[in-house]
Amino acid sequence: MVERRRKPLILCSTKHVINSTAPTANLFHHGSSPSFFRFPVGILRFSDLTNLSVDHSSLLALSTPLLKTLSITSGSPVLVKNVGTNTQKIAVAVALDPPGTTANTDSQSSSPSSSSPPRIMLLFPSCHFPFNGSVSDDQIAYVSPLLAFNLNLHVACLKSILRHGQEALASYFGPPDKRGNEDTAKINVDSVINVELEPLAMPPKFASLLRVSFVKIPECGILESIRASSPFEAEERQDMIDLSLQKYFEVDRYLSKGDVFGINISWNCNSPICVPCNQRSLNQNDNLICFKVVGMEPSDEQFFRVNNTLTALVLVGSSPSALPPDLLIGEPEGPVPLRGDTVKILASILTPTFCPSVLSSKFRVSVLLYGLAGCGKRTVVRYVACRLGLHVVEYNCHDLMVSDRTSVALAQAFKTARRYSPAILLLRHFDVFRESQSPEGSPYDQRGNTSEVASVIRKFTEPVSEQHDSNSVGKSNVESVETSAEKASGHQVLLIAAADSSEGLPSTIRRCFSHEISTGPLTEEQRAEMLLQSLQSFSELFSNTDSEALVKEIVGQTSGYMPRDIRALIADAGANLFPRNNAKVDKDVSDDVDSLFNSKMAEDTNLGKVSHQIPGKEDLLNALERSKKRNASALGTPKVPNVKWEDVGGLEDVKKSILDTVQLPLLHKDLFSSGLRKRSGVLLYGPPGTGKTLLAKAVATECSLNFLSVKGPELINMYIGESEKNVRDIFQKARSARPCVIFFDELDSLAPARGASGDSGGVMDRVVSQMLAEIDGLSDSTQDLFIIGASNRPDLIDPALLRPGRFDKLLYVGVNSDASYRERVLKALTRKFKLHEDVSLYSIAKKCPPNFTGADMYALCADAWFHAAKRKVLSANPESSSKDNEADSVVVQYDDFVQVLEELSPSLSIAELKKYEQLRDQFEGSSR
């Protein structure tokens, strides 16, 4: 058997040296061997970003078998090519598994806890560097995040995700805990992104001049940290940047025009009381400053080698550039929106524009995002922008309206956003433009202003055309780089307008938006999730409290809360961490300096002890009560008096019927989850003064419900369509504040029978029709929205409102002449009185006329107390103490009630009472 000899392993650098000595004959040229090697690509994760010896911007980590395949050693330059876009960059190859880690390989692979590494952006395998474990797949080329960004691998990844449909897109933009292995497995069936590697026989030559600039950022972040509050601080920070650039280029770096590289600069002042520096030290990505190569000399080469000893470095201002997506550069930070459906819709609109195609580059992209204030619209926009690596330029539309010509100010906002392209222009409070439809001013001026604003929006949201790009051939290096950055996405500026409501916007402006997205209030599950996450972030503070049990208890009382309100609630509860006794001042402090010093030292000692107090359930409940009072005024709900069932005397049957209608679905939601339509409408009718409004207030107080009281004249407006809009707004406000009770007082004046109204425009008929449509729409909502109406004349109400499914439960609240019943009413009214021992409420109830209503009994008790107070004042001693003049010192006697009964006449006659009883017989007979 003849044994074939193995070919010797010769490095590329050795080949170049030998070939250079014998230029006439290439001794190591094999035509059959390929020059490029194609491998799947992965992403590196660095444990230490401050190590300048490792080039985090152009690093290529390969396994030992791949290094042997390429015939290179660690530290050799390699040409990396993106197969999809033909983008080429030079990287420094390093060994992923050097020989020192082979002994550790078996132990790592045999451990049962070892699992497949997480994937970056759902597609890229990941690997930590330096690596001490076993390589799961030695045929993957791992690149650094900035190198992947310069190769446009993130764009290829987004294109692949788009091809896999909405499920893959929702998984990419979902929260971190939902991007699991199951979703990844669905996408990774045929999604492999490859790169081609070619070893370089000779490294590129050195550049004589390198021009770099800051990556322009609209606000906050990197450039804000560079700004200083004093000239000395500005000079110091500029020296830090210059020194960091000099240190970075002490090692040879491989760059080309348009590359983005990052340097980690620590701005920490090492002060324990500096809050920004201590927060920034928790995340290394906050200290990463990105620079962009805007020019290199000589200009006849594509790639250069840069070293501070042979290359002149020039820092020239700032230039526009996209940033790597947060999932590519590191772990995402910041709040995660709870409205996953809104994030999914917005992402499906913006992602195709970021991945340009022939079709997507021909359509305008502008989004109108509307929802109630504080629902998280800006959080959604910033979250999607971070996932795509786009800047966000914010403008407040109130500032634009201050200008004499709004269209000029809006055009300037678009031009400013273009300086940071690709960027999202977020126009907040966009609903101020609907004020142009007010009747004030000339209609021609309003129409002209509206058309100018619409023309500006259409002009600046048009995608970049190829003819426009062809004019940039003769521009300078910096301008050509900016033009290429704009061409990368096809859209210079993506417009997103945020408003509280889309109604009232002029149709000319509204037609400029290609998409409209509505953001609703949080569901109960979303509120519970946000509360639980907030409490878990304070787990050390609430260690004595069961977070899940506490959330279940209070989540029902946070109906209508927006994310902003929930964060304010947790912040208010956290304010109890401050010492409760901090504001108290010891009045007995001596004027002596030593004693003052000793008291300060004791106060500091107590401060350390109080800081360990743990806020519990009581603190959170108190904060919830304060929050509910603040939100009541914001929602437009009046302050409901503290009316309890003990304040309502009698009416036991009516109480029981209301509790069965309102309280039972709230306490037993599982029983009503089958979709059966509940009877949520109650109409209280009867004579005036019998306690109908008092009952509605007691229901809202006892059931912990929001209370919306509606009066008839509040909804009527002189302009056509405004009255119906007010009805829609009332029900929309109630839906956002669930669980809620809508109380329509004097319903007969608000919803009279249609066809009988005398107004020429038929306003009341349209109001009744709108109310019928809104009440029918309550069947689509959950079991926590109720309507209660009160009326003296139900015969005047439109009959359509009294059918089943609307105000289908009619409860008569009348006058009861039973003495025991009236005794309970008097007992409730005099609950806070100081009665004499000989006062018998039963005997007083017997003396009351049979047509005495609840209002008459209230007048009786109030006048009796007034008589007793007057007697107290007349018989009081001028030299008596202040305690004798307090309200508790007034004693109401039996004679006071008798004297008032002789003077008080009933507000309802016997004939009127009989009419109401006939009306009751009529409606009770029809209901039977």
Q: What is the pLDDT of residues 471-500, one digit of tens each?
A: 444 444 434 434 443 444 457 789 999 998
CATH number of 209-319: 3.10.330.10
DSSP count for the chain of H helices, then E strands: 35, 24
Token readout for 162 is 């788009």
Q: In what order do the strands lie in the sheet with 209-215?
A: 260-264, 288-297, 209-215, 312-319
Token readout for 856 is 């008459």
Place of tokens 């290094």: 67
Q: What is the structure's pLDDT at 151?
A: 92
Highest mean pLDDT among 301-315, 708-722, 871-885: 301-315
Q: Helices (DSSP H) in 668-746: which residue ranges?
A: 692-702, 712-715, 722-736
Q: What is the structure's pLDDT at 90?
A: 92
Angle of CA points 529, 532, 534, to nearest 5° = 110
Place of tokens 């995040």: 145
Chain centre distance of CA 513? 22
| SS3 state at 355 | coil
Give the pLDDT confidence of 15-62 residue by residue, as tens digits: 554 444 444 334 334 444 556 788 999 998 877 666 656 777 888 988
Give the pLDDT confidence of 606-634 residue by residue, as tens digits: 444 433 444 467 778 888 888 877 776 66
Q: What is the structure's pLDDT at 471?
A: 43
* Nearest-angstrom CA–CA distance, 386 and 384: 5
* Nearest-angstrom CA–CA distance, 197 and 773: 67
* Nearest-angstrom CA–CA distance, 782 and 75: 65
Task: List Cα–Cα distances, 762 to 710, 746, 756, 759, in angstroms.
Answer: 21, 20, 10, 6
DSSP per position, 53-83: TS-TTSEEEE-HHHHHHHT--TT-EEEEEET
Whether residue 805 contacts residue 762, with contact meaning beta carbons closer than 8 Å, is answered with: no
Mean of the per-residue pLDDT values of the chain: 75
Chain centre distance of CA 449? 32
Token readout for 411 is 């055009």
How do 312-319 and 209-215 pair as beta strands?
Answer: parallel
Token readout for 921 is 């017989």
Q: What is the structure's pLDDT at 674?
A: 59
Percent of the chain at pLDDT exceeding 90 = 11
Q: Is the peptide bond before 8 cis (omega within 30 degrees of 0)?
A: no
* Nearest-angstrom CA–CA distance, 380 and 520: 13
Mean pLDDT of 502-524: 87
The CATH T-level fold of domain 819-876+886-907 is Helicase, Ruva Protein; domain 3 (1.10.8)
* Nearest-angstrom CA–CA distance, 560 and 708: 13
Whether residue 44 contacts residue 61, with contact meaning beta carbons closer than 8 Å, is answered with: yes
Q: What is the structure's pLDDT at 513?
A: 92
Of 15, 9, 48, 40, the residue nearest 29 (C-alpha): 15
Angle of CA points 148, 154, 160, to nearest 5° = 135
Q: Helices (DSSP H) in 712-838: which residue ranges?
A: 712-715, 722-736, 747-750, 763-776, 819-829
Mean pLDDT of 243-248: 87
Q: Which stretches does DSSP call E strand in 818-882? A: none
Element (H, E) at 660: helix 652-667
pLDDT value at 1 more than 60: no
Of 259, 341, 217, 307, the residue nearest 90 (C-alpha): 259
| Higher-confidence position of 784 and 801 | 801
Q: What is the structure's pLDDT at 692?
A: 83
Buried b (16+ CB within 10 A) or exposed e, 588-599: eeeeeeeeeeee
Task: List Cα–Cα distances, 212 to 555, 691, 739, in angstroms.
Answer: 53, 78, 58
| β-sheet bridge partners, residue 312 | 209
How confident is residue 691, by pLDDT bands cut at 50, 70 and 90? confident
pLDDT value at 569 more than 80: yes
Token readout for 753 is 């029978």
Q: What is the structure's pLDDT at 11?
A: 53
* Nearest-angstrom CA–CA distance, 372 and 519: 8
* Nearest-angstrom CA–CA distance, 17 and 39: 28
Q: What is the structure's pLDDT at 79?
A: 92
Q: Helices (DSSP H) in 254-339: which residue ranges?
A: 275-280, 326-329
Q: CA quadruple 146, 151, 157, 159: dihedral positive or negative?
A: positive
Question: Among 301-315, 639-653, 803-817, 899-913, whose mean pLDDT is lowest?
Answer: 639-653
Token readout for 406 is 């709004």
| SS3 state at 382 | helix
Element (H, E) at 898: helix 894-903
Orientation angle between helical segments 547-554 and 617-635, nearest 10 degrees: 30
Orientation angle between helical segments 443-460 and 406-418, nearest 10 degrees: 10
Q: What is the structure's pLDDT at 345?
A: 92
The radius of gyration of the chain's CA atoms, rounded to the nearest angstrom, is 38
Rounded-to-10 torsion of CA 354, 355, 357, 363: -20
Give the pLDDT confidence of 283-337 residue by residue, as tens digits: 545 567 889 999 998 888 889 999 988 999 898 888 888 888 888 887 666 677 8
Q: What is the structure's pLDDT at 905?
A: 85
Half-sphere exposure of 667 (CA within 13 A, CB side): 8
| Higher-confidence position of 581 and 821 | 821
- Per CATH, 209-319 and 636-812 having the same topology is answered no
Percent of the chain at pLDDT exceeding 70 = 70
Give the pLDDT confidence of 594-605 residue by residue, as tens digits: 454 454 444 444
pLDDT value at 132 more than 60: yes
Task: List Cα–Cα distances, 92 to 57, 61, 193, in angstroms.
Answer: 10, 8, 20
Q: What is the pTM assigned to this prediction? A: 0.75
Question: Among 75-84, 126-135, 386-395, whose mean pLDDT is lowest?
Answer: 126-135
Task: List Cα–Cα distances, 864 to 294, 840, 851, 891, in angstroms.
Answer: 90, 14, 19, 10
Highest mean pLDDT among 221-225, 305-309, 583-587, 635-639: 305-309
* Nearest-angstrom CA–CA distance, 11 and 463: 49
Task: List Cα–Cα distances, 722 to 433, 504, 714, in angstroms.
Answer: 18, 11, 11
* Nearest-angstrom CA–CA distance, 161 and 168: 6
CATH number of 636-812: 3.40.50.300
**Is the domain covering 340-463+490-517 a CATH 3.40.50.300 domain?**
yes
* Answer CATH for 521-577+615-631 from 3.30.1380, 1.10.8, 3.30.70, 3.40.50: 1.10.8
Q: What is the structure's pLDDT at 235?
A: 72
pLDDT value at 582 more than 50: no
Mean pLDDT of 84-100: 84
Whether residue 204 contacts residue 304, with contact meaning beta carbons closer than 8 Å, is answered with: yes
| SS3 state at 388 | helix
Q: Is the peptide bond before 130 cis (omega within 30 degrees of 0)?
A: yes
pLDDT value at 766 more than 60: yes
| Higher-confidence position of 783 and 161 | 161
Q: What is the DSSP letter of 90?
A: E
* Nearest-angstrom CA–CA distance, 772 and 769: 5
| Higher-confidence position of 187 and 643 | 643
Q: What is the structure's pLDDT at 470?
A: 42
| SS3 state at 335 | coil
| SS3 state at 368 | strand
* Nearest-angstrom CA–CA distance, 209 and 255: 12
Of 513, 554, 508, the residue nearest 531 (C-alpha): 554
pLDDT value at 136 more than 70: no
Of 426, 428, 425, 438, the residue nearest 499 (C-alpha): 428
Question: Among 10-14, 785-789, 818-822, whose mean pLDDT is lowest?
Answer: 10-14
Mean pLDDT of 918-927: 73
pLDDT value at 822 more than 60: yes
**CB count in 10 Å sphere of residue 725:** 15
List the domain boundaries for the chain. Answer: 37-98+120-175+190-199, 209-319, 340-463+490-517, 521-577+615-631, 636-812, 819-876+886-907
Q: Which amino acid is at 637?
A: T
**Is the domain covering 37-98+120-175+190-199 a CATH 3.10.180.10 domain?**
no
* Nearest-angstrom CA–CA distance, 333 and 715: 46
Of 124, 138, 158, 116, the residue nearest 44 (C-alpha): 124
Tell the burial category of 152 from Cβ atoms under 10 Å away from its Cβ (0-12, 13-18, 19+): middle
Whether residue 570 contacts residue 533, with contact meaning beta carbons closer than 8 Å, is answered with: no
Tally of residues, the chain: 928
* Nearest-angstrom CA–CA distance, 838 and 833: 14
